[in-house]
Amino acid sequence: MTTTASATPRTALLRWQFDLTWSLFEYHLERLEPEDFLREPGPLCWTVRRSPEGTWVPDWADTEPDPVPVPTIAWLTWHIGWWWSVTLDHARGHTPRERTDITWPGEGRATVEWLRGLRLDWLAVLDDLTDADLDTTAPFPWPDDPAFTKAHMLAWVNAELMKNAAEIGQLRLLRAAS
């Protein structure tokens, strides 16, 4: 795992943690098969579905249902693409896109390459940060918390990515073992 030569101790630690998380995720990305994406793991699940226009639309509820549906790999990869795209918008100072503006590319290589592209975009953000930047307030994902800094946002990305990678890995392993 590498860090940039200009990285400061705090940014270097967050970058190292991200690289570790990504390497664990990459293990599963390399092994995903097209049939993994839309496989429904149970009777109550969230996935992405074709709209009449042909785009993929994720299942969604503004209030989390109880019980929580089990997501498909398709839904999880869309979810990563959504939160990461919006986080990148915030980190770059751009107007964040709406959830409905984030379109899933489809099962297979297109989605894997989309996620790898988001990783490269994120690395560019990480490589430009200083320790002073880490102490500034971050508006996402908790805009009402003035104590939430960019350091918190970076740590959240690492944690969220690790959680989603583990979920995808488990679903992939279950399909491969069945």
Largest Cα span, the chain: 50
Task: Report residue 2's pLDDT band, with 50, 70 and 90 as the boundaries.
Answer: low
pLDDT of residue 1: 56
Cα–Cα distances in angstroms (integers) from residue 70 to residues 22, 36, 60, 121, 173, in the given order: 23, 14, 12, 29, 15
Statement: residue 37 has pLDDT above 90: yes
Statement: residue 118 has pLDDT above 70: yes
- For the chain, the structural domain boundaries read 9-177
Higher pLDDT, 6 or 90: 90
pTM for this prediction: 0.93
Statement: residue 51 has pLDDT above 70: yes
Statement: residue 3 has pLDDT above 70: no
Task: Report residue 26's pLDDT band, with 50, 70 and 90 as the boundaries.
Answer: very high
Quick check: bond before 141 cis, omega within 30? yes
Statement: residue 119 has pLDDT above 90: yes
Nearest partner of 141 among 126, 160, 122, judged by Cα: 160
Per-residue pLDDT tens over the stretch 120-161: 999 999 988 888 889 988 888 887 888 889 999 999 999 999
Statement: residue 173 has pLDDT above 70: yes
Q: What is the C-alpha separation between 164 and 76, in angstroms, rounded?
A: 7
Contacts of 124 (CB under 8 A, 6+ apart): none
Statement: residue 8 has pLDDT above 80: no
Under CATH, to which class is 9-177 assigned?
mainly alpha
